[in-house]
Copies of this chain bind each other. A is one copy, B any other.
Amino acid sequence: MPERGHRNIPGSLKQPLADFKVGVDNAIFSVDTERNRLLILLVKRQDEPFLGQRSLPGTLVRQGESLEDAAYRILAEKIRVENLYLEQLYTFGGPGRDPREDATSYGVRYLSVSYFALVRFAEAELIYQTTGDVAWYPIEDIPKLAFDHERILQYGYQRLRNKLEYSPIAFEVLPEVFTLNDLYQLYTTVLGENFSDYSNFRSRLLKLGFLCDTGIKVSRGAGRPASLYRFDSKAFAPLKDKPLVFI
C-alpha cells in the first residue's frame, strides 16, 4: 500500500500513487445482411469475477505488450477473420469499477481501455472452447453484462452511429461486394428509418464516385436483379476529410 522514498514521482510522499492492472475490452460489431441485424460479440466469462456472466471479450495487458496488441490478441482468440477494423474507444478507470480491487488487499486498481472493432459477418469464424462460449447478440437483445461493459457497449454503439455519417466504415462490415440496397439497409438498421429516402441515398452515393459497379447481378427473390458494387478506397481518398459524406 504505502508508496514512498523516491525522488522522481511528484506527490508521492503524502498521497500514495495507485497501482494498476490494465485491461483491454473490445466492442466488436458486425451486421448480418441477410437478416438485417446489428450484432455484437459477447463471451461467457470462464473466470471470477462474474463467472458465467456475459461480457465483452477482454484481457489483461501482458508485459511488453502494447494496448493494441492486447486488443488484437483477445480478438484473435475468439474469432478468425481476414479483415478487421480496430480503433481505440475510451478508457474507463474510476476506482471501484472492478470487484477484484476489493478482493486483494493490495489496493490494485483495474483500468479498462476499450476498443471498437468491425468485422464482416460472413468472414468471421467464431472460435469455441465450449458451446455458447462466444456468440453474436443482436443489439436489441443484450443480456446483463459483467463489469461496466454495458456502458462500454453503449459508447461503442454511439461511435458506430457517428462514424457511419462521415467515414466509410460501412464497408468494413458489409461483404466485399454488396448491393446498394444492402448498404441502405445497413444505414437504416443502425441509424433508423428516416435518415434518407432510398432513391436519393442511391444517387448521392453513386455521384460521389467511390462505388464501382462490378457488372455482376444478383437476384434475391422477386424483383429486378441488383448490381453488386465494390468500395474503391482510392477513389474515396480525396473525400477523406470532407465532412458528412454519407448523410
The answer to whether A17 touches B63, judged by C-beta atoms less than 8 angstroms apart, is yes
Interface members, chain A 87-102 (any B CB < 8 Å): 88, 90-91, 93-95, 100
Interface members, chain A 1-51 (any B CB < 8 Å): 1, 7-12, 15-22, 46-49
Q: How far is the CB of A161 from chain B (nearest CB, A)?
A: 10
A221 at the interface (CB under 8 A from B): no
The answer to whether B243 touches A17, judged by C-beta atoms less than 8 angstroms apart, is no
Question: Given the interface contacts A48-B8, A88-B90, does A65 sit within 8 Å of B165 by beta carbon?
Answer: no
Main secondary structure of the interface of A (DSSP, over half): loop
The answer to whether A63 touches B247, judged by C-beta atoms less than 8 angstroms apart, is no
A146→B90 CA distance, assembly (Å)? 24
A18→B65 CA distance, assembly (Å)? 8
A60 at the interface (CB under 8 A from B): yes
The answer to whether A60 touches B11, judged by C-beta atoms less than 8 angstroms apart, is yes
The answer to whether A21 touches B17, judged by C-beta atoms less than 8 angstroms apart, is yes
A9→B103 CA distance, assembly (Å)? 13
Interface members, chain A 217-234 (any B CB < 8 Å): none
A186 at the interface (CB under 8 A from B): no
**Beta-carbon contacts of A54-75 to B below 8 Å, as 1s and 0s?**
0000011111111110000000
Question: Given the interface contacts A93-B113, A94-B67, A247-B243, does A61 sit within 8 Å of B17 by beta carbon?
Answer: yes
Closest B residue to A100 by beta carbon equals B8
Interface residues of A, Cβ cutoff 8 Å to B: 1, 7-12, 15-22, 46-49, 59-68, 88, 90-91, 93-95, 100, 103, 107, 109, 111, 113, 165-166, 243-244, 247
